[in-house]
Amino acid sequence: VDSYEVCTFLKISDRTLQRLRVEGAINFSRIRGKNFYRISELQRLMQDNVIRRSEEHLQDLIKNHQLHVEQRRNIKTNK
C-alpha cells in the first residue's frame, strides 16, 4: 500500500510516517519516487505498539486496498 493509504487509514501524519522511515522503524520500497509498505509490516508495527491503532483500522486498510486492486484489474481487462 502507498503512503497516502497508510496515513489515511491508520490516522497518522505524513511526518510521522517519514520519521518511522528515517529511524528505520518501518521497512518500505521506493518505486519511481513513491513509497510502498507491506501490510505485514504495518501489522508488526501495531503488534510492537509503534503505531497504536485498533485491528479494525488495519482491516479497513486491507479491504480498501483489495478493492483498489480489483478495480485496476477490471480496468485493464476492459481495455
Domain that holds residue 15: 3-78
CA distances from 73 to 37, 69, 78 (A): 20, 6, 9
- Distance CA(31)–CA(77), nearest Å, equals 24
Helix 39-47 to helix 55-78 angle (10° resolution) is: 180
- For residue range 4-33, what is the model confidence (pLDDT) as tens digits? 988 887 788 999 999 999 999 999 999 999
Q: 12: which 3 cell numbers?
A: 497518522
Give the total number of structural domains in the chain. Answer: 1
Provide the whole-model pTM.
0.65
Mean pLDDT value across the chain:
84
What confidence category does residue 54 fall into, taking pLDDT thresholds of 50, 70 and 90?
Answer: low
